Amino acid sequence: MLLSLTPIALLVLLLSASVALFGSDASYGPNQVALIIASAATMLVGWRRGMSWQAIQDGMVGAITVSIMPMMILLSVGALIGSWIISGTVPGMIYYGVQLLDPGFFYAASAVICALASLSLGSSWTVAGTLGIGLMGIATTYSLSPAITAGAVISGAYFGDKLSPLSDTTNLAAAAVGVDLFEHIKNMLWTTLPAFIAALVIFSFIGSEGAATPENIAEIRTALASQFAISPWVLSPLGLMLGLIYFRVPAYPAILICTLSGTLYAATFQPDVVRALALAAHPESPAPLIQGLWMALFSGYQSPEGMGELSKLLDKGGLASMLNTIFLILTAMTFGGMLDSTGILRQLLDQVLRGVKRTGDLILATVGGGFITNVLAADQFLAITLPGRLFTPAYDDRGLNRLSLSRTLEDSATLTSVLIP
């Protein structure tokens, strides 16, 4: 057991040192180095147990393979953000959104909007990557907390995701323990609905102290209108996105199509903005319209000099903005895959299960198992399937309904995944 804990203890030590030495920059390389070193230690533990490198490698490659589509979605979301900003879609969402959303109830309204969208679409990632972008921009315009806004977006997106029959995690949790999907969703209402109502009450009472005054908001709307050609037409890519997912077009092709639509809208409605982006970096560009669109997709949008607060609001997006996150996912999945293939993760969960004496202990062990797997493997799908397989016999032995297991897996593995960087 001590040997199994060695890679984990090393990772905790290295991550602590990373934060102490690099502070807020720890996630931009130092943490990834810590994960690579911990993966090497895991490999040595596997060799010590007589495992071949091929077996360890298969586990690592399998974990990375599972994460390829999320990584591709992240990259496409980066391009989507760049194209939607330069096309005027995100500025339009902010321009019109500040007229419709009262800052006094902004956090609660954001949660409800994201919950309804995610319930319809079955994808928390897509909602966060589309509506969430606009809501974060509106929050910045209102001078509201971006952290609380992100919490409201995630709360709403995951509430809808958990209760949607289109959600991959909801389907996975039901399949992992062998229960009916709709019975699983119905059973989750016992915990999901009260939690969301409590979150809405808290968001409503947080208030909006320090929010921007109507004069500040009017200034920002004027600045947006001076930089972009704002009209309801620029919101068409958002409508296209919602329509594609309503017809169950998979997330990755849907995001790519909407990225291309944003690019076309930028060339059509914002040609001066596109050319200005290219000429600011390459004054001698022979084709500034094409080069500007290309730049928005790979490096994001950059406001002209002298735009002040508007630059903080809009200077983002592009494939390059997601590369550090991809780096983190690759190293985390390498470590998690090795933990799984060497049997360390299973051994740790078995130890958790040994301490179970009562029904309450079993529920707590399930919650702990899902959370521990999320922390160690950084993969909500593994955090659902592995504890699901391990704990199903224990629930059957005690005569407990498997719906309790599937609900607890969602309450722990799915929801705590957003707390793991």
109-167 pLDDT tens trace: 888 888 877 775 666 777 777 678 778 877 877 778 888 888 999 998 888 878 877 67
Q: How far apart are CA 185 and CA 188, in angstroms?
A: 5
The pLDDT assigned to 43 comes to 92
Mean pLDDT, range 330-338, rounded to an integer: 82
pLDDT band of residue 1 (cuts 50, 70, 90) is low
H/E stretch holding 380 = helix 380-397
Find which of 27-31, 34-38, 180-184 is predicted with most confidence, using mean pLDDT: 34-38
The pLDDT assigned to 214 comes to 60
The pLDDT assigned to 264 comes to 93
Q: How many CA atoms lie within 13 A of 339 on its CB side?
A: 32
Mean pLDDT, range 177-200, rounded to an integer: 85
219-233 pLDDT tens trace: 777 878 888 888 888
Q: Is 345:388 a contact under the CB 8 Å cutoff?
A: no
Q: List b or e across 269-305, with b for residues whose CB sees 16 or more CB atoms inside 10 angstroms.
A: bbeebbbbbbebeeeebeebbebbbebbbebbbbbee
**Cα 318 from chain centroid?**
16
Q: How much of the chain exceeds pLDDT 90, in percent?
A: 7
The pLDDT assigned to 294 comes to 92
pLDDT band of residue 302 (cuts 50, 70, 90) is confident
Find which of 223-227, 230-234, 267-271, 375-379 is predicted with most confidence, using mean pLDDT: 267-271
**Is the model's pLDDT at 189 over the cut of 70?**
yes
The pLDDT assigned to 178 comes to 77
Residues 6+ apart with CB under 8 A from 244: 254, 257, 258
The pLDDT assigned to 37 comes to 93
**Is the model's pLDDT at 339 over the cut of 90?**
no
Could you state, in order of their start, the residue ranges of all structural domains in the chain? 2-69+323-419, 89-227
Mean pLDDT of the chain: 81
The CA radius of gyration of the chain, in Å to the nearest whole number, is: 23
Got the DSSP string for 221-275? Answer: HHHHHHHS---GGGGHHHHHHHHHHHTT--HHHHHHHHHHHHHHHHHHH-HHHHH
C-alpha distances in Å from residue 358, one per residue of 152, 295, 362, 364? 36, 59, 6, 10
Q: Which of 44-58, 214-228, 249-263, 319-333 has the lowest mean pLDDT?
A: 214-228
Q: Which of 46-50, 143-147, 260-264, 343-347 has the lowest mean pLDDT?
A: 343-347
pLDDT band of residue 215 (cuts 50, 70, 90) is low
The pLDDT assigned to 40 comes to 92
Please report where in the chains the tokens 């209108």 appear, as a residue. 225
Mean pLDDT, range 80-86, rounded to an integer: 87
More confident residue, 13 or 95: 13
pLDDT band of residue 344 (cuts 50, 70, 90) is confident
Q: Residue 180, Cβ neighbours under 10 Å: how many?
A: 13
Length of the chain equals: 421
Three-state secondary-structure class, residue 88: coil
The pLDDT assigned to 44 comes to 92
pLDDT band of residue 32 (cuts 50, 70, 90) is confident
